[in-house]
Structures are given as structure tokens and as C-alpha cells.
């Protein structure tokens, strides 16, 4: 808990109970959770926490550069704790985001010209190894279709 308070304080964020719990959840769950995932995960310890509180907390953490939002067309926004520079791989079949350990500090931002670069995001799309090998369960694909409004047939 002290570690999380230090992280928040070092980014000039008041370490409220909600902010500590949301950041702790993101640090402990590297699954790139949605707001709904965070709400469900925190409900046992914070039964009165609301979606609005989670959205507001994530916004504060994003503004400070501690959290990034991952957007994919047609799916819910997912969130990731920015503990280090890393890329993301998005599986177009199962919808999973996977952290990719790669160095990308090599980008020459001077080539951008007079523009001011705030951040560099590296993002890959394709089919994950589990889906490519058929290891993903039928249930995962059914759940994904249901969440997107598709049928389970």
C-alpha cells in the first residue's frame, strides 16, 4: 500500500482510498481490464464504489501518465498501468491485449519536425498464439460475441 501511495504522491495525486484501490487493482491485474472488470474486482472490498468514481479516477491517473486507455473499434476501452514503456498486441479473434516487451525508445522524434511529441505508442494487431493454435476455448469466443451483441450460435 505504501508503494502505491508513493507512486500517486510522486505524480502529485492525492492518495485517496479510491485512487489507491483502483491503481492497486491495475498493478495486480495485468489483463488490461475494462471499467466493468475493475468495478467487479473492487466490489468485494469496496461495495459502494460507482462506475463514475472509477471513470473519474482513471481520468486522473491518465492525465498523470500512470494509466493508458487502449481502444479498439467495436470493443470496450481497456486500461493499463504504465509501469514501463512497452508495446501492445491486440488479438483480432479473442479481443485480448497482450503486453509486448520491446524497446521503442529508439524512435527519433526529431523526425516529426516542429510538432511536440507527448508520448509514443506501439501497437500490433493480429491473431494471438492461443487463437492460432486453437487453444482458445469456444466459451471465450461465445463470450466475446455476446458482449459485442452477437449471438451464441
Q: Of the candidates 81, 113, 137, which is a domain's last residue?
A: 81
Give residue 120's domain range. 84-153
Final residue belonging to a domain, choices 81, 97, 117? 81
Distances (CA, A) of 48 to 19, 22, 42, 129, 132: 14, 14, 9, 39, 41
3-state secondary structure of 31: coil
Going by C-alpha positions, the residue among 19, 10, 47, 52 that lies closest to residue 35 is 52
Work out the mean pLDDT of the chain and round it to a whole number: 84
pTM: 0.77
Are residue 39 and residue 109 in the same domain, yes or no?
no
Q: Are residues 93 and 70 in the same domain?
A: no
Question: What is the number of structural domains in the chain?
Answer: 2
| 28-68 tens-digit pLDDT | 998 999 999 999 999 999 999 999 999 999 999 999 999 99
Amino acid at each position: 500500500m505504501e508503494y502505491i501511495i508513493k507512486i500517486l504522491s510522486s505524480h502529485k495525486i492525492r492518495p485517496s482510498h479510491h485512487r489507491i484501490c483502483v491503481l492497486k487493482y491495475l498493478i495486480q491485474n495485468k489483463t488490461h481490464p475494462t471499467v466493468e472488470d475493475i468495478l467487479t474486482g473492487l466490489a468485494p472490498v469496496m461495495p459502494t464504489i460507482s462506475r463514475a468514481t472509477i471513470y473519474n479516477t482513471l481520468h486522473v491517473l491518465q492525465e498523470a501518465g500512470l494509466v493508458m486507455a487502449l481502444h479498439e473499434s467495436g470493443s470496450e476501452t481497456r486500461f493499463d498501468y504504465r509501469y514501463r514503456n512497452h508495446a501492445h498486441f491486440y488479438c483480432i479473434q479473442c479481443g485480448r491485449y497482450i503486453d509486448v516487451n520491446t524497446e521503442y525508445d529508439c524512435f527519433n522524434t526529431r523526425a516529426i519536425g516542429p510538432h511536440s511529441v507527448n508520448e509514443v505508442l506501439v501497437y500490433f494487431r493480429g491473431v494471438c498464439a492461443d487463437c492460432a493454435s486453437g487453444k482458445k476455448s469456444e466459451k471465450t469466443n461465445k463470450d466475446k460475441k455476446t458482449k459485442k451483441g452477437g449471438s451464441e450460435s
